[in-house]
Amino acid sequence: MTQPSVPATATEKCPDPVALPDRDLTEAETTNLWGRDRAALKDCDGRRDAAVKAAGPQP
């Protein structure tokens, strides 16, 4: 049985959440940092999805 190959991007570590300063954030900072975390999460989920598809049944 041949082991399916997993895309190299799927093995990359997901980024850590944005480091928050030890102070209250402005509304703009909150929105910006939240958006960066959400974009990174979406990208990481895409890599994981590619790995699952690559490891799944092959036609």
Contact 54, 10 (CB under 8 A): yes
Instruction: Provide the residue ranges of all domains of the chain, joining segments of one domain with +.
Output: 25-54
Q: Where are the alpha helices (DSSP H) in the chain?
A: 27-55
- Write down the pTM of the prediction: 0.64
Torsion of CA 5, 1, 57, 41, to 10 degrees: -30
Instruction: Look at residue 58 in the predicted model and tell me its pLDDT.
Output: 63
pLDDT tens over the chain, length 59 residues: 677 777 777 777 888 899 999 999 999 999 999 999 999 999 888 888 887 777 776 66
